[in-house]
A = this chain, B = another copy of it.
């Protein structure tokens, strides 16, 4: 049960505020194993909503789910040179099983390209076996030194799509299609505006030819990478010798993509929308969309009021997504506070006077606005308010991003802006990795992405002065 406690305000200590929101809403807890977290029921309900919607979108685009083993032979990782370099240092290693030392150590999957492509080798022989459009919902493990609930944990939950194609063009189309699925999901469901773009070579996935990303701005104006989609070229097909007989009879290497989002999205959702009162959940992601709070006054008949509260819940048409707060011995005020901390989008107040007037009072979590509503039209009125909150949260987040996105053209301006940190810096970049590294070392800003819709524009790198033909997004990031 959440405590009647005040959260640290965002203005005072943003990081502590984030942890306070999680604790007050009972989203997650620290586990006895360093770096691993427990996702509590309120937090897991968010993950279930994310899963349900994304899974629907994956299936609408022709994908099916499967499940591959947790444990991967250490030698598999080593088959792709960049991949092993990127992931081997983060692996947890199983050396004993069933009371015996293993002949070959097994790593717990940090990602599943290698085990999956070892199977694709068995399954693909002809062009008729392609494409393979598989997704997996799973846990993965990456040993992290500095962890943070939801944003960076040693174990996390995610989905990883792994597709196999006959042509390079088809693989690239798939990579971009899934990036677009992520963009739609982030904007239409999480209510988080994102910039879809290409990662620089330095920031791409270990083993990819090209990595695309969606980048979001949090309320402290830092960037958060919310999902990635990789064109893996023929790297894994080469490493695992996966070829197919083409229609012309020739054997060719298969083309690959992979793409994923994780429980990190819950961290993004918290940091993007919540306020000093606690969690704010976009209605489409809320397992509990409304809660009915009966207000017992001196004149009220408690049994009748509670019975009417249950009727009101039924009148919302929300099924399991509406709750009645029938707790005794706590005041309505305490309940309001409690549900605000948990981020329920709409509170439905029902007092003796409302009963007389055959109405309820809707209270919006986002604005606090109170809307007296006749019970006769409740279902429709509530649905409208929920849609209004959903749209409002997105607009507010977009306005914040617009307000804190700046074109900068010289080094001095760049350095001044990034100090704050003050959002997204749209700057030219020479394309040189040395320059990218220097900027990161000196300012802590990284290139978040080269936006897909970047307009061609002649300019010069603010640090080295070399020419550039479009702006990229720099920011400090989570």
Contact = CB atoms under 8 A, between A and B. Distances in A.
A122 B45 CA distance: 21
A11 interface: no
Contacts of A155: 69-71
Of listed A32, A66, A67, A108, residue having the most chain B CB within 10 A: A67
A64 B90 contact: no
Interface string A91-111: 111111111000001101000
A1 interface: yes
Contacts of A9: none
A98 B35 CA distance: 12
Contacts of A115: 31-32
Given A76-B32, A141-B70, A41 B134 contact: yes
A157 interface: yes
A118 B93 CA distance: 24
A82 interface: no
A143 to B, nearest CB: 3
A29 B119 contact: yes
A266 to B, nearest CB: 11
Contacts of A39: 66-68
A33 B65 contact: no
A128 B98 CA distance: 41
Nearest to A71: B33
A36 B73 CA distance: 12
Interface in A49-94: 59, 64-73, 76, 89-94
A452 interface: no
Interface in A6-64: 29, 31-33, 36-41, 43-45, 47-48, 59, 64
Contacts of A145: 98
A93 B92 contact: no
The size class of the interface chain A forms with chain B is 35 or more
Contacts of A38: 66-69, 119
B36 A64 contact: no
Given A45-B64, A64-B45, A1 B69 contact: no
Contact of A139 (B41, B90, B95, B139): B139
A68 B122 CA distance: 34
Interface in A414-455: none
Interface in A385-433: none
B95 A99 contact: no
Nearest to A90: B98
A89 B89 CA distance: 29
A41 B128 CA distance: 17
B59 A44 contact: no
Contacts of A202: none
Interface string A249-260: 000000000000
A372 to B, nearest CB: 33
B31 A119 contact: yes
Nearest to A69: B36
A106 B69 contact: no
A96 B89 contact: no
Interface in A100-145: 105-106, 108, 115, 118-119, 122-123, 128-129, 134, 138-139, 141, 143-145
Contact of A66 (B44, B118, B154): B44
A320 interface: yes
27 contacts: A1-B128, A29-B122, A31-B68, A31-B119, A32-B73, A32-B118, A33-B72, A36-B69, A39-B66, A41-B64, A44-B65, A44-B66, A47-B67, A70-B141, A70-B155, A71-B141, A89-B98, A89-B99, A92-B94, A92-B106, A93-B95, A93-B97, A94-B94, A94-B95, A95-B95, A95-B96, A96-B105
Interface of A: 1, 29, 31-33, 36-41, 43-45, 47-48, 59, 64-73, 76, 89-99, 105-106, 108, 115, 118-119, 122-123, 128-129, 134, 138-139, 141, 143-145, 154-155, 157, 320
